[in-house]
């Protein structure tokens, strides 16, 4: 563990965590909603510092998913225990929900917290210096803070990102969009790209299905784009919960209002965690969302979690030239160079070098 930096002391003696939009008030001996930021004797500690679960992984950048950021490259990826959401459909629930699951199982707060610390202690240690050294040695151009929400392990992410930037390595958050204003301001000089989940355009969905609030996500999408952080959006389409035409139109209209150039990834749901009674998303539903997004004015829309090369292509929005083809996570660059369409010279928004 390591002393956190994003917190302040309150007049009543409690601490207020400043890492995410919950702004948890934490009493001595307790953790915040994420389960991994503990008040110990009036100081806040990050329990998972240097302790990524399953160590480090190497992924295609397209898996994040980022389609307009260094296409075809590999990205070094890691995440930790803990999350500030409680999504019923979480695909990484064994990592993100571990603190909650231990409390439910043990029904004793202190025993559950001690149990979590023991699980964390078992993990191999990867400090920021080791992560950046590994990325440099293997010539990975970027590092992803992913699998669970990076805001909950902010100091670990920040120290790694700052060191990575000094070594010419780019940094990527894969996020639920719940960072605090303070966290985004601090990481901003070192954060090159972010993929934010826009899980729905319904406050009720966020409260009931994700155990979180809707508005901070909306504000952070606007904030990240305004900051100049390359931003892509992912929506996991869940049958009966967020798959109506009305929901698709609200999401698409909102993204267009921020920028029609923001890529929107529409992904298929597969039964997971506490939503195993729902079926996978019909591909026809994804096509419907795609058409609604196009009609709203979004330039770049992609369908994911299903094999559909036609809807994974980057087309020039001006002349419709095929620029980048994708087959699952493999890419084939076509008539495209230096961020411009080779046919009509239209600028294609993204980070290409």
Fold of 198-312: TIM Barrel (3.20.20)
Q: Which residues of 283-309 are buried (b: 16+ CB within 10 A; e: fewer)?
A: eebbebbbebbeebebbbbbbbbbebe
Return d(Cα 16, Cα 241) in angstroms, integer: 34
Q: Are strands 230-237 and 193-197 parallel, antiparallel or unpaired?
A: parallel
For 284, what's the count of Cα atoms within 13 Å in the CB-facing half-sphere? 0
340 burial via Cβ count (<10 Å: 0-12, 13-18, 19+): middle
Return d(Cα 159, Cα 127) in angstroms, integer: 9
Q: What residues are paired with 171 via a beta bridge?
A: 143
What is residue 262's DSSP assignment?
S
For 260, what's the count of Cα atoms within 13 Å in the CB-facing half-sphere? 9
Provide the percentage of residues in the chain whose pLDDT is more than 90. Answer: 96
pLDDT of residue 319: 96
Confidence bin at 33 (pLDDT 50/70/90)? very high
What is residue 344's DSSP assignment?
T
Return d(Cα 171, Cα 192) in angstroms, integer: 5
Q: Does residue 55 have a pLDDT over 90?
A: no
Q: How far is CA 134 from CA 131, 141, 143, in A?
A: 5, 11, 10
Where are the chain's structural domains? 2-46, 198-312, 314-353
- Sole residue written with tokens 């070192």: 190
pTM reported for the whole predicted model: 0.96
Cβ proximity of 278 and 240 under 8 Å? yes
Q: What residues are paired with 26 via a beta bridge?
A: 15
Q: Which of 115, 109, 111, 104 is nearest to 47 (CA)?
A: 115
For 296, what's the count of Cα atoms within 13 Å in the CB-facing half-sphere? 28
Q: Does residue 129 have a pLDDT over 90?
A: yes
H-run or E-run covering 292: helix 283-296
> What are the strands, taking DSSP E only, across 216-335?
230-237, 264-268, 301-304, 314-315, 322-327, 330-333
CA quadruple 273, 238, 255, 20: dihedral, nearest 10: -20
Confidence bin at 329 (pLDDT 50/70/90)? confident
pLDDT of residue 107: 84
- Token pair of 63 as six digits: 């898996």
Angle at the Cα of 172 (from 166 to 176), degrees rounded to 5?
A: 145
Average pLDDT score over residue span 133-149: 97
pLDDT of residue 58: 97
> For the segment 159-191, what is each residue's pLDDT rounded down to a tens digit?
999 999 999 999 999 999 999 999 999 999 999
> For the segment 65-95, what is each residue's pLDDT rounded down to a tens digit?
999 999 999 999 999 999 999 999 999 999 9
Mean of per-residue pLDDT scores for the chain: 96
């Amino acid at each position: 563990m390591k002393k956190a930096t994003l917190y302040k002391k309150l007049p009543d003696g409690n601490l207020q965590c400043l890492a995410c939009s919950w702004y948890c008030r934490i009493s001595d001996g307790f953790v915040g909603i994420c389960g991994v930021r503990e008040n110990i004797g009036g100081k806040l500690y990050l329990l998972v510092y240097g302790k990524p679960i399953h160590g480090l992984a190497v992924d295609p950048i397209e898996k994040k998913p980022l389609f307009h950021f260094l296409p075809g490259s590999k990205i070094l990826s890691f995440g930790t225990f803990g999350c500030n959401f409680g999504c019923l459909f979480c695909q990484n629930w064994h990592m993100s929900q571990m603190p909650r699951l231990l409390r439910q199982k043990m029904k004793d707060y202190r025993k559950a917290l001690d149990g979590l610390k023991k699980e964390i202690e078992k993990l191999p240690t990867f400090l920021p210096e080791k992560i950046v050294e590994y990325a440099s040695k293997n010539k990975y151009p970027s590092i992803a803070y992913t699998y669970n929400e990076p805001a909950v392990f902010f100091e670990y992410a920040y120290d790694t990102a700052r060191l990575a930037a000094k070594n010419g390595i780019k940094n990527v958050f894969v996020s639920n969009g719940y960072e605090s204003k303070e966290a985004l301001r601090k990481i901003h000089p070192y954060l090159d790209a972010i993929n934010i989940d826009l899980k729905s355009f319904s406050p009720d969905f966020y409260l009931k299905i994700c155990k979180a609030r809707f508005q901070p996500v909306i504000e952070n999408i606007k904030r990240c784009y305004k900051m100049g952080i390359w931003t892509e959006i992912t929506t996991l389409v869940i049958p009966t919960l967020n798959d109506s035409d009305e929901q698709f139109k609200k999401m698409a209209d909102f993204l267009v209002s921020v920028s029609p150039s923001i890529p929107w990834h529409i992904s298929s749901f597969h039964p997971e965690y506490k939503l195993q009674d729902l079926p996978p998303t019909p591909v026809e539903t994804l096509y419907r969302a795609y058409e609604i997004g196009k009609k709203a004015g979004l330039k770049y829309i992609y369908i994911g979690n299903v094999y559909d090369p036609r809807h994974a292509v980057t087309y020039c929005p001006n002349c419709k030239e095929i620029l980048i083809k994708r087959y699952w996570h493999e890419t084939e660059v076509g008539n495209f160079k230096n961020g411009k369409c080779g046919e009509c010279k239209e600028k294609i928004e993204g980070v290409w070098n």
